[in-house]
């Protein structure tokens, strides 16, 4: 157990070291991030090995089917150490690693939120019909499972405001699970994942935002991509855009085939004001897009419902 504790301490130190990436010269960040990620994977593998070695009792299989025992054959049992990571979690790590190598810090979203962060801090006027576009669930206590990761924008802006004043920049991505009151089909789910990006500085502009997004998608799909934008509408950005990429060749894309991937734009001055940031001194841009669709395109999947189905045959493909 001493070795296990030492490994966990080493992992904590590595996470602290990752937070210093913004202090490194831009041209050296990619190599710095690559070495950190390699070291992190090595430590995580050693921790898993140490935890398995620490088990001094025979591992019992789990009945994952909750067999009723009434006129049913015995189900197949699976050893507890035979599991694998869900493909969405694997790809979510890949997404955040790319952004970290670009100098962004990662803040996790919340599973429950409130009206204030869901709408008020994001420049949604009271009773404005735009609120209907984010139809979601509510608890009896009035809490809201967030319909988008933008609910974290106000928290991120406030949390890193001192850093912004000191360094002159704020760069954060927020991955998280979101919920919508959807009619579920092959392309729509009531539960899915998004990743929000927030960047603020004194002189940032839309060109920088498009450059960051183009770089991200090229890193993720491992090829050069053309991009395109068209006007959009979000109360919390102005101007607002819908960002598209040329369909990757690996997915059968042809020249001129474009796919809409996310919404983005310059952060509305009212959103900055709500976080105590002077829009006359600072500017920002933000974006948000689904992780599930990224993964579907990467692996050529034709039904988003696979991810939440619990179908073991599907999950074994990523084991």
Q: What is the CA radius of gyration of the chain?
A: 22
Q: Which fold has domain 87-309?
A: BirA Bifunctional Protein; domain 2 (3.30.930)
Q: What is the pLDDT of residue 80?
A: 54
Rounded distance between C-alpha atoms, residue 280 and residue 274, angstroms:
14
Which of the pair, 33 or 172, is modelled with greater confidence? Answer: 172
Tens digits of residue pLDDT in 66-122: 545 555 555 555 555 566 788 888 889 999 999 999 999 999 888 888 888 888 899
CB 84 within 8 A of CB 318: yes
Which of the pair, 134 or 201, is modelled with greater confidence? Answer: 201
What number of H helices and E strands is found in the chain?
11, 7
Rounded distance between C-alpha atoms, residue 308 and residue 319, angstroms:
16
Is it the case that residue 225 has pLDDT exceeding 50? yes
As a residue count, the chain comes to 319
Q: What is the pLDDT of residue 57?
A: 47
Count the alpha carbons within 13 Å of 235 in the hemisphere toward its beta carbon. 20
User: How far, rounded to the nearest angstrom, does the alpha carbon of residue 274 sit from its chain's CA centroid?
Assistant: 24
What are the extents of the domains in the chain? 1-83, 87-309
């Amino acid at each position: 157990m001493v070795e296990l504790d030492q490994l966990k301490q080493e992992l904590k130190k590595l996470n602290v070291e990752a937070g210093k990436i913004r202090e490194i010269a831009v041209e050296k960040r990619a190599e710095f991030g690559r070495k950190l990620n390699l070291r992190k994977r090595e430590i995580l593998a050693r921790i898993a090995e140490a935890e398995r070695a620490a088990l001094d009792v025979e591992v019992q299989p789990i009945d994952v089917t909750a067999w009723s025992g009434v006129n049913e054959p015995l189900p197949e049992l699976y050893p507890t150490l035979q599991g694998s990571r869900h493909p969405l979690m694997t790809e979510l790590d890949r997404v955040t690693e790319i952004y970290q190598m670009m100098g962004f810090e990662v803040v996790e979203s919340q599973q429950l939120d409130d009206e204030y962060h869901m709408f008020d801090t994001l420049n949604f006027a009271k009773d404005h019909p735009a609120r209907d576009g984010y139809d979601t669930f509510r608890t009896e206590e009035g809490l809201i499972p967030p319909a988008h990761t933008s609910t974290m924008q106000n928290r991120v802006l406030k949390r890193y405001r001192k850093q912004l004043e000191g360094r002159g920049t704020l760069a954060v991505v927020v991955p998280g699970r979101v919920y919508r009151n959807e009619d579920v089909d092959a392309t729509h789910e009531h539960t899915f994942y998004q990743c929000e990006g927030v960047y603020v500085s004194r002189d940032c502009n839309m060109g920088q935002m498009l450059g960051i997004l183009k770089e991200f998608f090229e890193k993720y799909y491992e090829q050069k991509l053309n991009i395109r934008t068209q006007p959009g509408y979000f109360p919390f950005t102005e101007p607002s855009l819908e960002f598209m990429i040329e369909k990757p060749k690996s997915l059968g894309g042809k020249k001129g085939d474009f796919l809409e991937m996310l919404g983005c734009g310059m952060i509305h001055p009212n959103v900055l004001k709500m976080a105590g940031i002077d829009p006359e001194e600072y500017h920002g841009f933000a974006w948000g897009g689904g992780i599930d669709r990224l993964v579907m395109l990467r692996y050529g999947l034709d039904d988003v419902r696979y991810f939440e189905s619990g179908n073991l045959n599907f999950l074994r493909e990523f084991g």
